[in-house]
Structure 1
Amino acid sequence: MTEHAAQYRPHPLPSRPLRIAAAQAQAEAGDVDANAATVAAMVHDAARAGARLVVFPEKFLSGYEPDLVRSDPRRCAVRSGDPRLAPIADACRETGTVAVVGAAFHAQDDLYVSALVIDANGELAARYDKQHLFTSEHEIYRAGAAGCTLELEGWRLGLGICYDSGFPEHARAAALDGCHAYVVGALFGVGNGYHESRTWFPARALDNTCYAVLANHIGTTGGWNACGSSAIWGPDGRPLAEAAVDRPELITADLAPEVLRAVRAPEPMLSDLGDTTAHTRTRHRLG
């Protein structure tokens, strides 16, 4: 379903908490099969930790490998119905978990930086394409045309990919659509990337009084030295969980409706906004 989110739509708070997970691991350059196996194993880990949804880093299925993707998109990018996604679909179906997996995606003659949403039935339920492409990505990928809101157990979750999170308007568009959390897979590098992530995500959370979730790469990928440190922030911008800098890890946090209510009472920025510029979004209700 595609709609325009032109002003804040008060959306009922969920009736119960939702446990969400962010996963980080070392991606194997250009090896979709190996990386899909890693995703499947971590979906099982997330389920054992009680999470209903787990998010993975940007382009994790190939690694952040622009040269490889450009030179061999058939091997490094995935398509609808791609059999290499089967282990992830099986893991989601077996555990009843939703996975948001970063991938280079090939549609018709275009490549996209995408977040693939595999639902608890093992189906590709949604695809979000990165709207704000980073410098060199313009040479390879087409920018996405719409934001994406997931609905899961009464929770609205707005998707983002890496550089999207540097634009306050992107998270604000999700909040205007009633999102309770902003969920992002990314590649942030050591040094300035860590600084950016620790500036942008607390700001996106507090600006919109919503949870913010970051899944980041570790190790080296595409020539970048990733800083790990995947994290989850509360709607007041304070950190709830943070992963290590350099090792595979899964972190979880419980998104709680009573916390949203308590933070939003003294911070009424959303309800005080009024009309804003329209943003196109798609919505996907998950089982």
Structure 2
Amino acid sequence: MKIAAVQMVTSCSVQGNLERAESLIAEAAAAGARLVALPENFAFMGRADHDKLALAEPLDQGPIQGMLSGAARRHRIWLIGGSIPLATDDPQRVGNTTLVYGPRGERIARYDKIHLFRYDEALPDGTSRSYDEGVVLCAGAQPAAFHVRDEDTPPETPGWRVGLSICYDLRFPELYRALMQPPCDLIAVPSAFTYTTGRAHWELLLRARAVENQCYVMAPAQGGVHENGRRTWGHTMIVDPWGEVLQVLPEGEGVVCAELDAQRLATVRRTLPALAHRRLGA
């Protein structure tokens, strides 16, 4: 099955971002992708953390979710909607939430980001910038996965099991171990890594998650200088179960595609049965 990871350089304009995301989804679908994933915060990156509070959508309502559902239905694809600000019971907190849609436009999965990013970044000009997602985000608590079926998949088979995570989650291998019971075939990591942390750790962590869990990893990312002055690392990539980078886009908007190969997955797990060798937490 062909999959596609979308890279964006999201602005402060929700409408403009939705239009650009829809265009990139169409590009991925035209290339033959059956599963497409957008990056974290694909619909909005504001000038201040609290800006997203005004844009929070109730579940199954609002223009962001409407675009995602409509795009999945029009292109008859499975769509991992990056992450969006989802309304919570606390008006001062929103969820950083991945919603997944099936080929009929139906919502089939939800994941709320569990690990919230905090970092003090030293900038080249000698100043610093602080990040603290806990100021406005409400952390999730439960891992989430879903099954996606290719058109050629026999109806009696479950298809591909896909685990969900978001950005900073990548640093916490225990989340991915939880997702491997039963094993996932693919892990999605929609992200907006900073330039500094991405340059140091992005590829290293993605390849490690692929190797230790013996599965494919797709990581759609933000990649460039944003309207709010933030610079993200980009390097959207797809990694195979042996840790090989199949495709990568260093910077700027675009789409990377690769094929999920069931035989490759089975061969890696058979020749080095590390998942079967687990003793702690198995």
Which TM-score band (shorter chain)? 0.7 to 0.9
Residues 127 and 205 (structure 1), Cα distance of their counterparts in 2 relative to 1, 3 Å cut: same
Partner of 1:3: none
Q: Secondary structure at the match of 2:238?
A: strand
Which one of 104, 119, 128 corresponds to residue 111 of structure 2? 128
Residues 66 and 28 (structure 1), Cα distance of their counterparts in 2 relative to 1, 3 Å cut: closer
Deviation at 1:50, TM superposition (A): 1.0
Provide the identity percentage: 29
1:229 counterpart letter in structure 2: H
**What's the CA shift string for 1:211-268, capped at 9, x where partnerless?**
11111102234543112110000000110010132x2110011111100111112221
| Paired residues of 2:56 and 2:87 also in contact (CA < 8 A) | yes
Q: Which has the higher strand share?
A: 1
Q: Does residue 279 of structure 2 align to residue 264 of structure 1?
A: no
Count the aligned residue pairs.
255
1:113 counterpart letter in structure 2: N
Which one of 131, 148, 158 corresponds to residue 152 of structure 1? 148
* Moved >4 Å (runs of 4+): none
Greater RCO (Cα-Cα under 8 Å, separation 6 or more): 1
**What's the CA shift string for 1:50-101, capped at 9, x where partnerless?**
11111111111112x3725x14512x32322333132332221111012212
Indicate the larger mover: 255-264 or 100-109: 100-109
* Rounded Cα–Cα distance in structure 1 between residues aligned with 2:244 and 2:110: 29
Q: Does residue 71 of structure 2 align to residue 91 of structure 1?
A: yes
Q: Secondary structure at the match of 1:120?
A: coil
| Paired residues of 1:98 and 1:117 also in contact (CA < 8 A) | yes
| Paired residues of 2:44 and 2:52 also in contact (CA < 8 A) | no
Deviation at 1:274, TM superposition (A): 4.3
**What's the CA shift string for 1:86-117, capped at 9, x where partnerless?**
23322211110122122121133241111121
Partner of 1:174: 179
Deviation at 1:163, TM superposition (A): 0.5
Q: Secondary structure at the match of 2:67?
A: helix
Partner of 1:45: 27
Give TM-score, length-normalised by structure 1: 0.83
* Rounded Cα–Cα distance in structure 2 between residues aligned with 1:239 and 1:71: 36
Q: Secondary structure at the match of 2:211?
A: helix
Q: Does residue 262 of structure 2 align to residue 240 of structure 1?
A: no
| Structure 2 unaligned spans of 5+ | 119-131, 150-158
2:145 counterpart letter in structure 1: T
1:97 counterpart letter in structure 2: I
| Paired residues of 1:176 and 1:270 also in contact (CA < 8 A) | no
**What's the CA shift string for 1:32-56, capped at 9, x where partnerless?**
2222222222221111111111111
| Structure 1 unaligned spans of 5+ | 1-17, 278-287
* Rounded Cα–Cα distance in structure 1 between residues aligned with 2:101 and 2:199: 28
Which one of 3, 8, 16 corresponds to residue 34 of structure 1? 16
Q: Secondary structure at the match of 1:213?
A: strand
Partner of 1:79: 58
| Paired residues of 1:215 and 1:230 also in contact (CA < 8 A) | yes
Deviation at 1:27, TM superposition (A): 0.9
Deviation at 1:119, TM superposition (A): 2.0
